[in-house]
Structure 1
Amino acid sequence: MTTPSPILSLRDIRKSYGQIKVLHGVDLDIYPGEVVALLGENGAGKSTLSNVISGTVMPTSGEMKWLGAAYAPTTPREAMDAGVGMIHQELKLLPQLSIAENVFVGRYLMKGGRVDRKAMEERAQAGLKRLGLDIPPSRQVEGLSTANQQLIEIAKALTLNARLLILDEPTAALGGDETQLLFRQIERLKADGVGIIYISHRLEEIRQIADRIVVMRDGAKVQEFDRGDVPVRTIVEAMVGRSLERMFPAIPVPAEDVTLEVEGLTAPDDSFRNISFAVKKGEVFGIAGLMGAGRTELVRALTGADPIASGRVRLNGQDITPRSPAEAIRNGIVLVPEDRKLQGVVLHHSIAENIGYANLDELTSNGWITSKKLHAFADDFIKKFGVKGKAGQNAGELSGGNQQKVVLAKWLARNPRVVVLDEPTRGIDVGARSSIYALIMDLARNGVSVIVVSSDLEEVLGVSNRIMVMAQGKQAGILDRKDANDVSVMELATL
């Protein structure tokens, strides 16, 4: 049998932002009907390379060929018209538009000179159904959970009839059932001859879905495996250049003093109901549950980001039930949100500015902030948290993991009493996760109460003194560390 020609060929692709070199001469071929896993630590260049292929970023040099012809898209629309679709790690939906409008944005179906909404909704509904999502396509996107929005992004890609799909962390917000539905769709796309570039930090997924693995490090392709069932240790060693296992640090024993008390907290929309728990000084309190359990809604209300219908929040015995994020922050409660690009950082502002925005009271002198003082303040925390970037660099130029470190830095600079982390390692590589876990334990050792919400069951089990499990907006139970395991958590989560 003759080897098929690649649908996409990259040769010596380079990209620089000023003096910062992001890609260093990358060569890559993608063949029809295969899944190529593109792996590497945050900042390795995976997303930049994907953005070059999908027309979002122009390379500094190098050449690409698509179906044997020269290929140099200057916009995502050009790439889409050629047959290249991309699902970004960070959601790109327009909240004020309907699901169907988002699925077909920029390529509305027309009939008789008018937008054919019926046809768009029917095709969008078909894509949603393939992914097991039962939501009317006429519904507005605003207010949908992150997981549902991710599924809509995937449904959007499924309607493109693309020859190449780039999936950047497509399962980061999905549960096990949703992930398996996606994998079944990928198998169907492969059978139709679609090539797929699959980016994920969930290495256990790679064995299930990948035909080939390409590993990047520091902007270069460093290794390639001609199969997907490569041992995790081998992949990680290629990614980080050293042997590394995913390990959780020792968890400190909390004090007996209670810092935070939540009593009967209920949401106006009933997304969570009658939630009560207490967090001790220096305790790591995990919150687990399946998609739609109400975890994110709960912690957003707890930190003043969303309204509360009833219930109380007490800090050191005093009622401080927050009605706004500013109230929560003044009382020493901060939230590191699930969606860092939408809610965590200002992408077009510098790292220094992002860190400074949460600490203006520390930086202001007679109503003024000097650039020198701001940069010196930011430099301390850039160094402390290991951010790979300079104070004056735009946050939007950083990898997802480094953006997360900036979000952590800006809030922890305030020395809070309660830190709420919603999906703290979402989209963060195995090398960087250990530093986040170590940071959580440092906070606990210093007497800070930490609440960790995570879809990663291994993670929430590995970092928590106790775990509250939520199911369908209700509090299903609280487990001590010695009683918490995969089975006990999932039994409560499926009540």
Structure 2
Amino acid sequence: MRSITKTFPGVKALSGVELEVRQGEIHAICGENGAGKSTLMKVLSGVHPHGSYEGEIHFEGEPCRFKDIGASERRGIVIIHQELALVPFLSIAENIFLGNEYASKGVISWNETMREATRLLERVGLPEKPQTRIADLGVGRQQLVEIAKALSKEVKLLILDEPTAALNDEDSETLLELIRELRDQGITCIVISHKLGEIRRVADSVTILRDGRTVETLTVRDGPTAEPEVSEDRIIRGMVGRDLDHRFPERTHYTGEDAGETALRINGWTVRHHIDHHRKVVDDVSLEVRRGEIVGVAGLMGAGRTELAMSVFGRSYGQYAGGTVTLGGREIRTRTVPEAVEHGIAYVTEDRKQFGLNLIDDISRNISLASLPKLARRGVVDEHEERRVAERYRTSMNIKAPTVFEKVGRLSGGNQQKVVLSKWIHADPDVLILDEPTRGIDVGAKYEIYTVIDRLAARGKAVIFISSELPELLGMCDRIYTMAAGRLTGDIPRAEASQEVLMRHMTMDRG
């Protein structure tokens, strides 16, 4: 790709980007949110057609001018987006060959479809029958179906955008091993990822983008210019343009009586599964968080962390089966989301696109959503005040957008997360529950969000911090609770916490 320039209204997403990928390698693309990684791959795969950008694409020695995705797929270039494009109520086989059916005179040959689907599933190591519905698969297995779908199109260049962002460690390792196997079979792979440890393990080369421009390409393996050790710090320096000497802001950590008075106490909280009412997803959980304290919640997939947070926040998940919530020493009811918000509890969801934002509305409206009464006079929202508040947060939170009228759906993941945080900060809650607040966000934006969280704690807010990244919990939290199978298994002070200690508690059967 030579001198690729792509402009959206008010924003130059790419400016003269250069990218060269060798046949049969795994080539990683790194950069902060908004650096242009996904846009560059959409240009390559025909999502942004020829004529909508400047520059040239050469594939296998020939110039390419893709008018749409179909044109790039016919050349063997297939992209798998971060949001998977599968139809949940169709079978695996139907999804693999959707739009590419084995058919004669309009009649699908199901025998051939099932036979070929079985072969592809074996190739990607997925032990499922081709008749299985996509809705019955976890996200990790759905990723493998997407790769099987790509292989059905005789892929030569496979592009994966944040393939492990929503996966647990086991599913991530399975997927990375498959990518290595595809490389060994001669399939070239481009991987966009924020997980620098994974990149160092699998990538042969790394191209770093910053502010829509190519910074550098590092050869990690098997080349005459290979670097002996491309460290995470080396990649970070290229991504953010500076050294990040500390991944987390410095702050004084308080525990126990050294922290403020108890802000939130949950006692005996029990929640049953929203469909299977016999199964407890949160089982007799009791915890507390003090003012000015950041308390982590760690657990493996299915431990019940999100279920706990959502059920406390207006019983947004499952069937309530018992327990009390005490705020500032007074028992409160949080039977609905408005009740929880009225009592000063906020919840930043792990799924910002589905539950945290209105993607088709602008930044200004999204920031005001949780605090409209503060901006209203006689029931009418003061739009001038709404805009002024949004502008203040755009500046203070460093939201990268030309104006507060930019549609949120057009922002990068990190900037979307800043909008979600701005919405709840303006609501001025006493307790802020953060569920995977940095998922899918680059290291530079993570540091900015960590700083915001620290400022909230310094103002006396009580913060519950749920994360799957143990180093993040160890770097940010004053105490860490661990969960397994819906129960609390530990309450670990910062001084005693390590990844090994947390993992041991996260894999316990009982509290």
| Cα distance between partner residues in 2 of 1:120 and 1:440 | 51
1:149 and 2:150 correspond: no
CA change 1:351–1:207 in 2 (3 A) is: same
Q: Decide which of 304, 307, 325 is 2:318's aligned counterpart.
A: 307
Q: CA deviation at 1:119?
A: 6.8
Pick the structure with greater CA Rg: 2
CA contact (8 A) 2:266 2:285 kept: no
Q: CA deviation at 1:439?
A: 1.5
CA change 1:195–1:372 in 2 (3 A) is: same
- What's the TM-score, normalizing by structure 2? 0.86
1:424 and 2:437 correspond: yes
Partner of residue 483, structure 1:
496
CA change 1:102–1:364 in 2 (3 A) is: farther
CA change 1:189–1:417 in 2 (3 A) is: same
The residue type paired with residue 364 of structure 1 is A
CA contact (8 A) 1:98 1:141 kept: yes
Instruction: Name the SS of the counterpart of 2:463 in structure 1.
Output: strand
CA change 1:267–1:134 in 2 (3 A) is: farther
Partner of residue 404, structure 1:
417
| Cα distance between partner residues in 2 of 1:325 and 1:101 | 39
Q: State how 1:249-398 maps to structure 2 within 5 Å.
A: 249-253=250-254, 254-268=259-273, 269=276, 270=279, 271-304=281-314, 305-316=316-327, 317-389=329-401, 390-398=403-411
CA change 1:132–1:193 in 2 (3 A) is: closer
Stretch of structure 1 that moved more, 245-254 or 379-388: 245-254
Q: State how 1:40-119 maps to structure 2 within 5 Å.
A: 40-58=31-49, 59-97=52-90, 101-108=94-101, 110=103, 113-114=106-107
Q: CA deviation at 1:356?
A: 2.2
Instruction: Name the SS of the counterpart of 2:20 in structure 1.
Output: strand
- What's the TM-score, normalizing by structure 1? 0.89
CA contact (8 A) 2:482 2:506 kept: yes
The residue type paired with residue 437 of structure 1 is Y
Stretch of structure 1 that moved more, 171-180 or 105-114: 105-114
Q: CA deviation at 1:410?
A: 0.9
Partner of residue 164, structure 1:
157
| Cα distance between partner residues in 2 of 1:328 and 1:142 | 31
CA contact (8 A) 1:14 1:61 kept: yes
The residue type paired with residue 42 of structure 1 is N
1:36 and 2:27 correspond: yes
| Cα distance between partner residues in 2 of 1:177 and 1:122 | 28
Q: CA deviation at 1:432?
A: 1.6
Instruction: Name the SS of the counterpart of 1:65 in structure 2.
Output: strand
Q: CA deviation at 1:421?
A: 1.1
Stretch of structure 1 that moved more, 109-118 or 331-340: 109-118
CA change 1:409–1:82 in 2 (3 A) is: same
Instruction: Name the SS of the counterpart of 1:301 in structure 2.
Output: helix
CA deviations 1:39-81 (Å, max 9, x no partner) are 1111111111112222223442122233333333343344334
Indicate the percent of aligned positions where both proteins have the same amino acid: 38
CA change 1:461–1:393 in 2 (3 A) is: same
1:180 and 2:170 correspond: no
Q: CA deviation at 1:174?
A: 2.3
The residue type paired with residue 310 of structure 1 is A
Q: CA deviation at 1:401?
A: 0.6
The residue type paired with residue 293 of structure 2 is E
Unmatched segments (≥5 aa) in structure 2 = 222-228
CA deviations 1:159-183 (Å, max 9, x no partner) are 3122111122222222322222112
Unmatched segments (≥5 aa) in structure 1 = 1-9
| Cα distance between partner residues in 2 of 1:67 and 1:452 | 48
| Cα distance between partner residues in 2 of 1:72 and 1:368 | 51
CA contact (8 A) 2:92 2:145 kept: no
Q: CA deviation at 1:222?
A: 1.2
The residue type paired with residue 44 of structure 2 is I
Q: CA deviation at 1:377?
A: 1.7
CA contact (8 A) 2:302 2:485 kept: yes
| Cα distance between partner residues in 2 of 1:163 and 1:443 | 49
Instruction: Name the SS of the counterpart of 2:214 in structure 1.
Output: strand
CA contact (8 A) 1:88 1:167 kept: yes
CA change 1:330–1:26 in 2 (3 A) is: same
CA contact (8 A) 1:93 1:149 kept: no
CA change 1:137–1:360 in 2 (3 A) is: farther
Instruction: Name the SS of the counterpart of 1:160 in structure 2.
Output: helix
Instruction: Name the SS of the counterpart of 1:198 in structure 2.
Output: strand
CA contact (8 A) 1:417 1:448 kept: yes
Stretch of structure 1 that moved more, 453-462 or 352-361: 352-361
Partner of residue 225, structure 2:
none
| Cα distance between partner residues in 2 of 1:103 and 1:407 | 35
CA change 1:234–1:308 in 2 (3 A) is: same
Stretch of structure 1 that moved more, 368-377 or 392-401: 368-377
Aligned length: 483
Stretch of structure 1 that moved more, 266-275 or 41-50: 266-275
| Cα distance between partner residues in 2 of 1:122 and 1:494 | 40
CA contact (8 A) 1:252 1:445 kept: no
Partner of residue 188, structure 2:
195
Partner of residue 12, structure 2:
21
Q: CA deviation at 1:212?
A: 0.7
Q: CA deviation at 1:328?
A: 2.0
Let me know the Cα RMSD of the aligned residues. Answer: 2.7
CA deviations 1:191-218 (Å, max 9, x no partner) are 1211111111221222211111111111
CA contact (8 A) 1:174 1:291 kept: no
Instruction: Name the SS of the counterpart of 2:283 in structure 1.
Output: coil
CA change 1:150–1:27 in 2 (3 A) is: same
